[in-house]
Structure 1
């Protein structure tokens, strides 16, 4: 059963299995009544519809998020010839269709001049036509399904929240930074480290939080630096470096996850960030608030399970290089990872001498680090694993030519900008200057680094979506009809890592479900291909214990 929901008027309407749009009355009651038949709900934006259903304690099993699916179909090489992909830019191409509903004006737009909402029935028909005409409809349809499942998971995780102890967070900050200072002052330890920085370069009034001022005084002190990034500073020997790097680390903690963050984002014992599924062009998630995807290890001890509950923390081991091996069908690289630690397996094969070399070289291959240590190791990896290294090299060359690359399930990279193409055209003309040629070559290499990584990172994001969707389904079975937050449920996701909050008695069953879901995710992407995607699972009381 397919039910399309429409919110273009003050009265919500629905089309059931292609029928006429009819008023739904009370939305939660309407959805709850039909959900017993496990329909596929079709709506414009999960982040608008689903939170209000969850607030009414109504959960849905499946949906199609038209906004997310449109973005995929618009760019995918698998649907490039469809009417949807070739149509002029329209309202479905906006990052978001409309603000989320407000309690005081549920169906009104905040902006009276906003563009009218588009027709979800017509859009769904256009998307189905694009999939049907695709060169590989099953492949792209699977991507649309798991992308939409991810949107449901994001809304459910925000609703449930990540268990968070404000008292423990405050104790962590106090231990690392010193007691909370008065407004306008720095914590004691941060202030002490700052005095060491100032003394090392003899600038008593230095403001290290101003990159321009800091860079000027570092140069005055004789340091040949082009920026104040920690990566550049770490390679310099000078008395100011150690305290300066320490200051930057502490200041980052204070600004990103200090007391102000705690008061803003943690309420009623829960952290509820705004997840943005598909917020990165590769398909990775982003956040529009709370910084959940950059949660530092220093404060994870504040993530504490409720009394009588546990946290099941799992992460996929070396996910991206394993995805690369499977994408390329590189059996030698799969064999290296078969024992568990892929990098150790590369060392055991005799390709490199140390695990660090294996890791640096592989990351260089996937992210375009072709100079320095990774550049020296890359030829050895290419000889040992020609199919894997050849795949990312070809993806890089495609990007340098301005072509698209595509992930395992069908997400394609965006084209380079018109400015990029103009620069390439200028460099190929008869009157091209040396400067124009150099600039175009640099831009081409940069875009090649993007496409090199896109195909791997995007496919890894698809694996993670399949993993979470499978976990969600298995946890639903464990709930046995209970409301999902009363049983085991997902509460956190970070690229290749998940956290499930569950009653302690369910923890072992959850751990098994997480492992089984990882195996299923591999099958969904690669069928019976022999590459394994092992996950490390820990059952803990607080998130900090898992690492």
Structure 2
């Protein structure tokens, strides 16, 4: 692998020779510092007016430098709006969060330092470039702003007033050097470098996917909603099907004025007809028998569709035929992504038919089969478990090995191992799974015991779980007091088990998130390497505008699933890239360990056709 990560498995060198740090100065300009591999200034500082910065970046991209900046989510959208994509970047905010928490860097100056601006969550403005906000408006203007409060002496060539205004840039440089030092002094510098590169590449991908958008047909969406809910009505009025279901619910419980959207009123009505319910959750209602249950379950499903992805959502989030989700890389402590608004990670099947490729284009949709169990097999070096999934469905392979009787049993048992289920069917099957795959089950049990003791666990590449807070520790301590009651001890055991379930899954889910980041970064890299020029006939004909209007590009990501929007002529090539990237990601994390990361890949016109 060349651009996204260093070559080899969890390698031990920093990729790229040229590092350019871009930071705001105190007088409304961009300070650009050329850095060497140690993070030291390698030449005179360059100060640029903000409007000249995109052009400068474009000129530098010929050499594919690694940009170092405070926050990709703040800076990169402005470059994208100018039609500029960068090959590589180091996101100081995201990388700081990893290094601050990682058990591999706890002896570093970065981890031991007092909390600073780098430890505070950054709220970014995703629509800044469209609203006339400049690059500098995206940074705070007070003394503890993204301009920085920790400064160093200015470099040679920046003196007097210039040195004062550039001080913030050297404060950002200082953070970069602290990060390099923390990695260099760690026990696993290669793994951490890969993780930081993957996290930073993910930030670039998130910004690009938000900017490019997911192709969306509002006419199809409207037709889907009309079919499910009835004709569109004014806000605040129930569509026809919902109103009919509400009427059936009222008749079934004998409450003509019942509002089924009011949880307290609905609970009282259900209890009044003799249903012993503690909530109105679907899983609980499905266990009951009464004429109200079927219309109520259907009402809840359609009401959720209306509120989450109804006409108001469509009018709000679909702009010029594109859905622009606001992705938040590292938004979950395990490293999984989150979103801010729009619900991109929870698109229901009812509306996936509205995700339609442009004319002459296709959607290539790929998802990794049984990703977390395969990650567990590789993490634990359990060759028997890896062999069960070689070239086949892992759960089917477990059945074929005589471990359990059915695929459903295999899935239930594996989820129990990764999430800590010890009762019911999962609890019954776990001993059989542990006998067949002792290394895998031992790893999850060890992680769970560490969590129960309040300790941290760490993923394959070096992301560590947070430790429990003061209230948790106080509860545990109280259980050991001479005067502790039985209730105190039960509470402590319950909390300890809960935290153990968290750490049990953290190492698996977190390592799976790392694999997915490497997978996406490889896909992005290879898509950008596709030939243009003489091979331009393979690309979209007659297209103009940004690179996203001409070339294949990632448009969607969901934990273990990616989607590429591509000119139809390149669909087969894109499929090959996605499959090859999955294999490469596996080698980056686990070397030659014989675990397969199988994909289901489909080239379709509509997202609904891929499922």
Counterpart Cα distance in 1 of 2:573 and 2:139: 46
CA spacing shift, 1:104–1:383, aligned 2, 3 Å: closer
Residue by residue over 1:377-396, the C-alpha shift from the partner in whole angstroms, topping out at 9 and shown as x without a partner, is 11111111111111111111
- Measured after TM superposition, the shift of residue 110 of structure 1 is 8.2
| Residues 41 and 62 in structure 1, CA contact (< 8 A), matched pair in contact too | yes
| Residues 91 and 97 in structure 1, CA contact (< 8 A), matched pair in contact too | no
- Measured after TM superposition, the shift of residue 80 of structure 1 is 1.0
Counterpart Cα distance in 2 of 1:490 and 1:273: 13
Counterparts of residues 110-129 of structure 1 (less than 5 Å): 115-117=144-146, 118=148, 119-129=171-181
Counterpart Cα distance in 2 of 1:16 and 1:371: 58
Residue by residue over 1:457-514, the C-alpha shift from the partner in whole angstroms, topping out at 9 and shown as x without a partner, is 0000001000000000110111537853111100000100011000000000000000
Q: Which residue of 1 aligns with 2:24?
A: 7
User: SS where residue 290 of structure 1 aligns?
Assistant: coil
- Measured after TM superposition, the shift of residue 200 of structure 1 is 1.8
Counterpart Cα distance in 2 of 1:288 and 1:198: 36
User: SS where residue 36 of structure 1 aligns?
Assistant: helix
| Residues 78 and 135 in structure 2, CA contact (< 8 A), matched pair in contact too | no
Q: Which residue of 2 aligns with 1:89?
A: 115
- Measured after TM superposition, the shift of residue 20 of structure 1 is 4.8
Counterpart Cα distance in 2 of 1:307 and 1:375: 51
Q: Which residue of 2 aligns with 1:501?
A: 565
Counterparts of residues 48-447 of structure 1 (less than 5 Å): 48-96=74-122, 99=125, 101=128, 103-108=132-137, 115-117=144-146, 118=148, 119-447=171-499
| Residues 479 and 488 in structure 1, CA contact (< 8 A), matched pair in contact too | no
Counterpart Cα distance in 1 of 2:547 and 2:443: 42
- Measured after TM superposition, the shift of residue 301 of structure 1 is 0.6
- Measured after TM superposition, the shift of residue 183 of structure 1 is 2.7
Counterpart Cα distance in 2 of 1:424 and 1:438: 10
Counterpart Cα distance in 2 of 1:243 and 1:364: 33
Give yes or no for the alignment of 1:524 onto 2:548: no
Counterpart Cα distance in 1 of 2:220 and 2:552: 24
Counterpart Cα distance in 2 of 1:385 and 1:104: 56
Per mean C-alpha deviation after superposition, the further-off stretch among 334-343 and 497-506 is: 334-343
Q: Which residue of 2 aligns with 1:484?
A: 547
User: SS where residue 313 of structure 1 aligns?
Assistant: strand
User: SS where residue 21 of structure 2 aligns?
Assistant: strand
- Measured after TM superposition, the shift of residue 21 of structure 1 is 3.6
Aligned pair count reads 547
Counterpart Cα distance in 1 of 2:19 and 2:55: 17
Counterpart Cα distance in 2 of 1:258 and 1:114: 44
Give yes or no for the alignment of 1:46 onto 2:72: yes
Normalized against structure 1, the TM-score is what?
0.97
Per mean C-alpha deviation after superposition, the further-off stretch among 399-408 and 88-97 is: 88-97
Per mean C-alpha deviation after superposition, the further-off stretch among 381-390 and 220-229 is: 220-229
- Measured after TM superposition, the shift of residue 70 of structure 1 is 0.3
User: SS where residue 108 of structure 1 aligns?
Assistant: helix
Query: Where in structure 1 do 4 or more consecutive aligned residues deviate above 4 Å?
Result: 97-102, 109-114
Per mean C-alpha deviation after superposition, the further-off stretch among 48-57 and 474-483 is: 474-483
